[in-house]
Amino acid sequence: MRMMLAIAAPLLLAAASPAASVADLGWLAGDWVSEADGRWTEESWSAPRGAMMIGYSRSGRGEVLREFEFLRIAAGEGGTLAYLAQPQGRAPVAFPLTKHDATSATFENAAHDYPQRIAYARSGDTLTATISKIDGSKARSWTYRRR
């Protein structure tokens, strides 16, 4: 029994931990756009380099910019990756990485008002970004195509 626990414990810890490097999220890199009914949203991410990805998002209607946000993915407190968002250029808010795989990543900050969860999933040249409360309520999604 002790032998099984000694073997299983590291596997359980590895499964529970989202330990990742910035390079593991390289699938997010690129220029992404969503356009419908005169409204547009763009999100761009640099390739991982120097243990960081840098991005921005902007949204508008026609030629009028409505919102913008500076973004980073880098190691946060304790070395865990975090998504750092600066809406309208304000002070950054950190959302630590809670889970990831080869084509998706979820970041959460239950102490933030809204959003509390930011999730990305990629399928080929399509990227879906979803924000929500920590319980999944009040979800809003954007579907982007690679530019």
The mean predicted confidence, pLDDT, of the chain is 90
pLDDT winner (highest mean) among 6-10, 42-46, 77-81: 42-46
Predicted TM-score (pTM) above 0.95:
no
pLDDT for position 147 = 95
Q: DSSP string of 39-84?
A: EEEEEEEPPPBTTEEEEEEEEEETTEEEEEEEEEEEE-GGG-EEEE
Is pLDDT at 13 greater than 80 in this prediction? no
pLDDT digit string (tens) for 47-66? 999 999 999 999 999 999 99
CB 33 within 8 A of CB 42: yes
Neighbours of 69 (CB within 10 A): 16
Residue 97 has pLDDT above 50, yes or no: yes
* DSSP code, position 28: G
Give the pLDDT mean for 103-128. 98
Look at residue 10 and tell me whether its pLDDT is greater than 50: no
Structural domains in the chain, sorted by start:
20-146 (2.40.128.20)
How much is the pLDDT for 8? 38
CA 90 → CA 46, 69, 110, distances in Å?
21, 9, 19
